[in-house]
A and B are shown apart, each in its own frame.
Chain A
Amino acid sequence: MADAAPAARGGFRGGFGSRGGDRGRGGPRGRGRGRGRGRGKEAEKEWVPVTKLGRLVRDGKIRTLEEIYLFSLPIKESEIIDFFMGMSLKDEVLKIMPVQKQTRAGQRTRFKAFVAIGDSNGHIGLGVKCSKEVATAIRGAIILAKLSVVPVRRGYWGNKIGKPHTVPCKVTGKCGSVQVRLIPAPRGTGIVGAPVPKKLLQMAGIEDCYTSARGSTGTLGNFAKATYAAIAKTYAYLTPDLWKEMPLTKAPYAQYAEFLSKNHRPVTQRPDA
């Protein structure tokens, strides 16, 4: 219908037909407009898992994200994180900056996005992505941040009343030349530190903490990564209350091996979305 009408008009701006070509080419780029009628691009697309873990999650064999963390299984699909945590995850763009690369054709500039993601209740992730457009960079960084989500262990400073509010022990994280140390603090202290670690600790759900940083803290990227490494260490540190021997359980791949062999066909090439 839209195509028939312009033919009758003719003559305005070289005809609608040629603009149609522009629309197709210009569509996904730059303006991100008009992918067909309506707002189809925001509609939920069915998730077809490509990894074994994704298949298990999709079919509800794995109940919580913590089961995946227990076996340190690498998470390669961000939909897995979405499945368990979807709404509660809030992302924040830490910085968009231009970066350049020298090529034979001259300098190429691109946008680089630094994104942190967390649910303010025990999970934190960091991602960085470079792209021609800001929106693409942010989207890519969010996906990488989701893939890097780790659990955060919280503890008490003194009395064990109420909910855990601080880091369980002193932990250190390092990235580049920056070393960040997180130190337990009494309830009500808040987060004592620079803006970057403060934001990350808040997103992780840690309420009170002293921080200490050494190295070139001007490199905020490394500063953020070091803080993230320190936060991730909280579960890596074996405190005596974890010394109790727990019975070994089977890893999900072993447990559901039959299910996987029946239902999961390993894909050799990721289908175009």
Chain B
Amino acid sequence: MESSSQNYHGKKPTNKTQKFGNQRKKESSGSSVGKQPVLKQLNMYKNESHDTECLLCNECFLLPENADIYLSHLLCSHHLVIADTHCIADFKGYVDYWRTRLASVCLTDICSVMHAPVKEAGANPHVEGEEQEFFLLSDVLPEDRLLRQGLQQKRLEWVLQQQQFERDDTSFKRGCLICRTELTGTRAGYLQHLNSAHNLQIGRTANLVFIDELIDQIDQYLNKFQCIYCEKFFPDRLILREHMRKKMHKRINPSNQLFDQYYAVNYLEMGKNWQQVADEKEEPDQSGYTSGSEAADGDVADWGDWNETTAMSITCLFCDSKFEQWEPTLQHLKNNHKFDFASLVSHMDFYQKVKLVNYIRNQVEKNTCIVCEEICDCQDVLLKHMEEKDHNDLPNKDLWDRAEYYFPTEEDDGFLCQLDDGRADDEGTPECVTGEEPDPQLCEAIVGGHLSEVIELRAELNKPVSADITENSANPAPSTKSAHHVTFKDIE
């Protein structure tokens, strides 16, 4: 086996094409030389395949695929050099940004200017060429550095989003690369199969991204009968598998930059690959990692980072307007529908409010007036009817105070999540809300106390109680409604 594979040794493909040519005038600050990860470009323009106009002229180039061509164009035609192009997460976005900026600002303001002699091609090598100006656009300029960091951050978030999708998606279906069995489920399950059944180790699934493409890449290697680790060619599949098994080449070569783009750690910091990130001296104080907020309380800082703008939206009861906050919703109801929700429900307890809201939603969906139950043709007619007849009011209690309206009419109704104002009686004592020392009066009633007092309290609890219970009463029970009372005997 080994001798036959030796015959095929030596034929290696030309190595990793750098995506951005070899224009590296400036080494990235401090880090070790050479291994710049070759990563995916932030690809927001997947569906649009239009060219990018050059920074300074009107020529169009297809970025980021033809970045090398564009860079040489910049050098030859405009004497402009962009530093550290491998650090730019979104070359197209970068060029677009500077093109718009250059409309208002001069090139010499943003670039450093160098003078260098240029020799004409084919000219006498002993004759000095004439000095010409060259412009260098680099992150020495703060604006440029911010731009690059912003693009880097955007790309990282895009990568993590993709990873989240791949983590949750259960509709993945693919035949195993080696044994050809059809595998369905999650990508993690697929990779786990490769690991356990065939000992093909490509890393922890949680670290991987763009897994579909990664598997395609490996598939390509295998179909060309090429070893994924040493990149040698073999005459057929069986010999390849034997080689990979014996040499333990069933894994990805860490120095193979073709696979860098599939590991999330490479997207972490600009221009640093996994090796450099790993070599970074680990800070002992992990809690210092926040997304910018200065928080003294370590615990809050830990949890306070995760901010998302997509809050649960609240839909109006009568029309389709959506709101992010509660106050605007109430305002809208009062102004546009003359429905002063807050005052109308002020005397109700939580469950009654829930029933009312579900009733209204139910009726509006059926284009029925909430007060007179008249059926209208469509929503606009309904709204007009309610305005004319001044039916923007609380309907008769019998209509809505029914058990069927406990259940939400609408799926994920944001309105229902705002009904409880938390100030009411129900938990009785402040300690339940703020978590402070329990009320001494309460302690006395619960812990020591006379038997008779306990019996009395028990009797109190079992009575249907009205909604307004004062905070100072020794009664710790949640308030009970008149129609449906929940007794403590019922709980467990």
A in complex with B? yes
Using a CB–CB cutoff of 8 Å, the interface residues on chain A facing chain B are 2, 5, 8-9, 12-13, 22-23, 26, 29-34, 37-39, 93, 95-101, 103, 105-112, 114, 128, 130, 132-135, 138, 153, 155-160, 164, 168-172, 174-176, 179, 181, 183-186, 188-190, 192-195, 210-214, 217-222, 224-225, 233, 237-241, 243
Q: What number of A-B contacts does a CB cutoff of 8 Å give?
A: 258
Closest 4 CB pairs of A and B: A212-B420, A221-B306, A135-B206, A30-B274
The reply to whether A106 and B29 form a contact with Cβ atoms under 8 Å apart is yes
Residue among B203, B206, B309 making CB contact with A218, cutoff 8 Å = B309
Q: How far apart are B442's CB and chain A's nearest CB, in angstroms?
A: 9
The reply to whether A110 and B427 form a contact with Cβ atoms under 8 Å apart is no
The reply to whether A210 and B278 form a contact with Cβ atoms under 8 Å apart is no
Within 8 A of A (CB), among B150-198: 153, 156-157, 160, 163-164, 167, 195-196
Residue among B167, B283, B289, B427 making CB contact with A112, cutoff 8 Å = B289
The reply to whether A194 and B312 form a contact with Cβ atoms under 8 Å apart is yes
> Which residues of chain A are near B201, meaning CB under 8 Å?
31-34, 39
Within 8 A of A (CB), among B392-437: 403, 406-408, 412-414, 416-422, 426-427, 432-435
Listed by A's residue number, 25 A-B pairs whose Cβ atoms lie within 8 Å are A29-B274, A30-B203, A32-B201, A33-B201, A33-B203, A96-B164, A98-B157, A100-B289, A110-B289, A130-B286, A132-B265, A133-B265, A134-B207, A158-B486, A169-B491, A174-B433, A179-B433, A190-B407, A192-B416, A194-B311, A210-B417, A218-B308, A219-B307, A221-B307, A241-B491
Q: Which of B46-54, B66-74, B244-252 contacts A (4 or more CB under 8 A)?
A: B244-252
Within 8 A of A (CB), among B302-323: 302-309, 311-312
> Which residues of chain B are near A233, meaning CB under 8 Å?
432
The reply to whether B446 and A243 form a contact with Cβ atoms under 8 Å apart is yes
The reply to whether A221 and B305 form a contact with Cβ atoms under 8 Å apart is yes
Given contacts A108-B269, A176-B300, 4 further A-B contacts (CB under 8 A): A12-B230, A33-B202, A112-B305, A233-B432
The reply to whether B305 and A96 form a contact with Cβ atoms under 8 Å apart is no
The listed residue with most B CB atoms (<10 A of its CB), out of A134, A135, A212, A239, is: A134
Q: What interface size band does chain B fall in?
A: 35 or more
The reply to whether A175 and B160 form a contact with Cβ atoms under 8 Å apart is no
Using a CB–CB cutoff of 8 Å, the interface residues on chain B facing chain A are 2, 6, 9-10, 12, 29-30, 149, 153, 156-157, 160, 163-164, 167, 195-196, 199, 201-207, 230, 232, 246-248, 251-252, 254-255, 263-265, 268-269, 274-275, 277-278, 280, 282-283, 286, 288-292, 300, 302-309, 311-312, 350, 354, 403, 406-408, 412-414, 416-422, 426-427, 432-435, 446, 454, 457-458, 461, 476-478, 484, 486, 488-492
